[in-house]
A and B are shown apart, each in its own frame.
Chain A
Amino acid sequence: MNDTVIPLAYLFAAACFILALKWLSHPTTARRGVRVGEIGMAVAILSTLFKFEIVEYQWIAVALVLGAILGIPLGLVPMTAVPQRTALSHAFGALAAGVVGTAEYYLRKPDLDATTMIALGLEVVLGFLTFTGSLIAAGKLQGIVRDRPWIYRGQNIVNLAVFASALTMVGLLVADPGRAVLFPIIIAVSLVFGFMLVIRIGGADMPTVISLLNSYAGLSASMMGFVLDNRLLIIAGALDGSSGFVLSIIMCRAMNRSFTNVLFGGFGAEETVGAIEQRPVRTVDPEETAFLLDMARTVVIIPGYGMAAAQAQHKVRELTDALLRRGVDVKFAIHPVAGRMPGHMNVLLAEANVPYDLLYDLESINPELPQTDVVLVVGANDVVNPAARTDQHSPIYGMPILDADQAASVIVVKRSMRSGFAGVDNELFYLDKTQMLFGDAKAVIGQVVDELSKLPAKEVAGR
Chain B
Amino acid sequence: MTKTLEISLFIFVLASFLGYTVITRVPGLLHTPLMSLTNALSAISIVGSLLLAGGGESTMATVLGSIAVFASFTNIVSGFLLTDRMLGMFKRREAPSRKAPTPEVGP
User: How far, in angstroms, from A99 to B62 measured CA to CA in the complex?
Assistant: 11
The distance in angstroms between the C-alpha atoms of A382 and B107, with both chains bound, is 22
Q: Determine the distance from Cα of A310 to Cα of B104 in the docked complex, in whole angstroms.
A: 28
Q: How many Å lie between the Cα of A25 and that of B75 in the bound state?
A: 22
Q: Taking the complex as formed, is A217 at the interface, i.e. its CB lies under 8 A from any CB of chain B?
A: yes
Instruction: Please state if B76 and A359 are interface contacts (CB–CB under 8 Å).
Output: no
**How many Å from the CB of B96 to the closest CB on chain A?**
8
A439 CB–B CB distance under 8 Å: no
Asked if A162 is at the interface of the complex by the 8 Å CB criterion, the answer is: no
Instruction: Annotate B31-67 by CB proximity to A: 1 below 8 A, 0 otherwise.
Output: 1111111111111111111111111111011101111
Report Cα–Cα, A440/B45, bound state, in Å: 45
Contact B39 A54 (CB under 8 A): no
Contact across chains for A96 and B23 when beta carbons are under 8 A apart:
no
Q: For B42, list chain A residues within 8 Å (CB).
A: 93, 217-218, 221, 236-237, 239-240
Is the pair B44, A347 in contact by a Cβ cutoff of 8 Å?
Answer: no
Expressed in whole angstroms, the Cα–Cα distance for A372 and B46 within the complex equals 51
Contact in complex: B86, A79 (CB < 8 Å): yes
Query: Which chain B positions have C-beta within 8 A of A217?
Result: 39, 42
Nearest residue (CB) in B for A211 is B35
Question: In the complex the two chains form, what is the Cα distance from A364 to B17 in whole Å?
Answer: 27
A284 at the B interface (CB under 8 A): no
Using known A-B contacts A27-B30, A356-B91, determine if residue A107 contacts B57 with beta carbons closer than 8 Å.
yes
Q: Is the CB of B35 within 8 A of A86?
A: yes
Q: Say yes or no for B97: interface residue by CB 8 A criterion.
A: no
Q: Out of B28, B41, B65, name the residue touching A37 (CB < 8 Å).
A: B41
A357 touches B93 (CB 8 A): yes
Query: A95 and B39: CB pair below 8 A?
Result: no
Do the beta carbons of A360 and B15 come within 8 Å of each other? no
Q: How far is the CA of A250 from the CA of B31 in the complex (A)?
A: 10
How would residues 415 to 452 of chain A score, 1 for a CB under 8 Å from any chain B CB and 0 otherwise?
00000000000000000000000000000000000000
Docked pose: A358 CA to B50 CA in angstroms: 45
Q: A59-B53, A234-B8 are in contact. Are A344 and B32 (CB under 8 A)?
A: yes
Whether a CB of chain B sits under 8 angstroms from the CB of A298 is no
Chain B residue with minimal CB distance to A237? B42
Does B40 contact A37, Cβ atoms closer than 8 Å? yes
Residue of A nearest to B24 (CB): A246
Q: Mark B76-94, 1 if CB is under 8 A from A, else 0.
A: 1111111111111111110
Cross-interface CB contact of A96 among B12, B34, B71, cutoff 8 Å: B71
A13 touches B89 (CB 8 A): no
Interface residues of A in 20-59 (CB under 8 A from B): 20-22, 24-28, 30-31, 33-34, 37-38, 40-41, 44-45, 48-49, 51, 53-57, 59
* A241 contacts chain B at the CB level, 8 A cutoff: yes
User: Which listed segment binds B: A166-174, A190-198, A255-263, A334-342?
Assistant: A334-342
Decide if A67 touches B77 in the complex (CB within 8 Å). yes
Q: Determine whether A315 belongs to the interface, using a CB cutoff of 8 Å to chain B.
A: no
In the complex, whether A231 has a CB less than 8 A from a CB of chain B is: yes
The answer to whether residues A45 and B91 also contact, given A37-B41, A59-B62, A350-B86 and a CB cut-off of 8 A, is no
CB proximity of B44 to chain A, nearest CB, Å: 4
Docked Cα-Cα span, A89 to B12, in Å, equals: 23
Cα of A419 to Cα of B107 in the assembled complex, Å:
30
Interface string of A238-278 (1 = CB under 8 A from B): 11111111110010000000000000000000000000000
**A82, B32: Cβ atoms closer than 8 Å:** yes
Closest to B91 in A: A355
**In the complex, A72 Cα to B54 Cα: how many Å?**
24
> Which residues of chain A have C-beta atoms less than 8 A from B72's C-beta?
67, 92-93, 96
B28 to chain A, nearest CB (A): 5
Q: Which of A136-163 contact B (CB under 8 A)?
A: none
Quick check: B38 and A239 within 8 Å, CB to CB? yes
Interface 9-residue window, one of A178-186, A222-230, A285-293, A386-394: A222-230
Question: Given the complex, which residues of A lie within 8 Å of B103, measured CB to CB?
Answer: 27, 356-357
A76 CB contacts on chain B under 8 angstroms? 81-82, 85
Q: How far is the CA of A334 from the CA of B41 in the complex (A)?
A: 27
**Shortest CB–CB separation between residue A366 and chain B, in angstroms?**
11
Assess A346 versus B47: contact at CB under 8 Å? Given A60-B53, A103-B61: no
CA–CA, A240 and B19, complex, Å: 8
The 3 closest A-B pairs by CB, nearest first: A71-B77, A75-B81, A343-B31
What are 27 A-B pairs with beta-carbon distances under 8 A? A18-B22, A25-B25, A26-B27, A30-B30, A41-B40, A54-B50, A56-B54, A64-B70, A67-B74, A70-B70, A86-B32, A92-B43, A97-B45, A107-B61, A214-B38, A233-B44, A238-B16, A239-B19, A242-B16, A243-B38, A342-B35, A343-B30, A343-B35, A344-B32, A346-B32, A357-B93, A360-B104
Extra 12 A-B pairs, beta carbons < 8 Å, given A41-B80, A244-B38, A343-B29: A21-B22, A45-B46, A60-B66, A62-B66, A74-B82, A221-B44, A222-B12, A229-B8, A238-B12, A239-B22, A242-B23, A361-B105
